[in-house]
Each structure stands twice: as structure tokens, then as C-alpha cells.
Amino acid sequence: MNNPIRLYMSMSLDGFIAGPDDRPGQELGRDGGRLFNWLDDRESDGPSGQVYREALATGALISGRRTFELAGRWQGDHHDGVPIFVLTHQVDDGDVPPGHARFVTDVEDCARQARAAAGDRPVMVHGAGAAQALLRAGQLDEMEIHLVPVLLGDGRRLFDHLGGDHIELDLVRRLEDRDVTHLRYRVHRPEGAA
């Protein structure tokens, strides 16, 4: 696949991507910051450094609106000036996103625009809502899950609202590092599917 749409997400062993009470000023919820301790090794030559460099080599970003707002809209630039496509249910008149960001209400159109903008590079996805919407629409190709050996017990889950569809994943890579295992899955599509 030339430019896959790939979710990058840190997750606890019990499926949470943020602790309870995630909000502005406490974006990762209570104790959710633990999920990102692996980023301390992002400058290393080890697996976490490799994964981090790969994430920053993406050519566009799709984010859910909630994630976009909690992240302070990334001041319009997530990394290297790549276009940011914010998947949202509605666009308020006069609400113009900053910098390289734009709001998109249609999932398939969002995926199409992001792929075109990324050229031959992968598209990064942030946010549970965006990931679930893309997955339901058959537009999410891969998932890079940074699995952290901690049980948060409560908070925001990555896969809470997928619906009843059974989705198969193929493990294509596993990289182990200190306090994290980076798992890359390809979304299995039946023969003849998009």
C-alpha cells in the first residue's frame, strides 16, 4: 500500500487511551500521561525512536474534532507543516481552524483529501472518534498501537463505538522497547473489498 491511513495510538493493556476526566488542561485524564512515557526514548536509535521517526515522516494528519480541541488545535501545525484534516460532525460559521488545518464532515472525503495531500507518504490518524469513523467506512488501513503494560481501569477507550461488525487484523510488525510494545496491524479486508 503506497500511502496507508494509519492510526498511531498509545493504549493501556485494558484498552484505554486516556485516564478518567480528560479535559483541557488535563488532556490525558488522570494518570493517562503514563501511556506516553515511551516518548522519553523518541530520540534513541531503538524501537521507540524508529516508531517516532516514522510517525513524523507522515504526509498528512486526520484528527477527530475532540482530539484537535484538547490538543489546543496544535496551533495549526502538528509536525512539519503537514495538512491537518479534522473530521467533525459540523462546521460552525466563522470557526476557521489555524494554520494547516481544515474541517471536513464526510469521512470518505476526508480520507481522499488526506491521501492526496500526503502524496506517497502515510497518513497519520489521531483520536478514537476519527479512528472508529475511518474503520467503519473502510478507510483505515493500519493501526500502530503503542501498548503500555499498565491497567488504567477507567477513562476513554479506543474501540468503544465500533458497532457490531467483526473486524480482523493482521499483525505485520512487533517492536519491543522499555515499557512499551509497538504493534502494527493491517486491517484485513476480504477479497474484492475496497
User: Could you tell me the residue ranges of all domains in the chain?
Assistant: 5-18+30-187
Global pTM reads 0.89
For residue 190, the model assigns a pLDDT of 66
pLDDT band for position 118 (50/70/90)? very high
Region 101-115: mean pLDDT is: 94
CATH architecture for the domain at 5-18+30-187: 3-Layer(aba) Sandwich (3.40)
Backbone angles phi, psi at 184, to 5 degrees: -105, 125
d(CA 144, CA 164): 23
Region 77-100: mean pLDDT is: 80
pLDDT of residue 161 exceeding 80, the answer is no
Tally helices (H) and strands (E) across the chain: 4, 10
3-state SS track over 46-110: CHHHHHHHHHHCCCEEEEEHHHHHHCHHHHHCCCCCCCEEEECCCCCCCCCCCCCEEEECCHHHH
CA dist list (Å): 21 to 18, 132, 152: 8, 21, 12
Give the number of residues written for the chain.
194
The whole-chain average pLDDT of the chain stands at 90
pLDDT of residue 29 exceeding 80, the answer is yes
For residue 39, the model assigns a pLDDT of 93
For residue 194, the model assigns a pLDDT of 54
Distance from the Cα of residue 52 to its chain's centroid? 13
How open is the CA angle 83-101-112, to the nearest 5 degrees? 55
pLDDT of residue 127 exceeding 60, the answer is yes
pLDDT of residue 98 exceeding 80, the answer is no
Q: What is the pLDDT of residues 50-74, one digit of tens each?
A: 999 999 999 999 999 888 887 777 7
For residue 192, the model assigns a pLDDT of 56
Region 36-58: mean pLDDT is: 94
pLDDT of residue 49 exceeding 70, the answer is yes
- Considering only CA atoms, which of 42, 51, 15 is closest in space to residue 131? 15
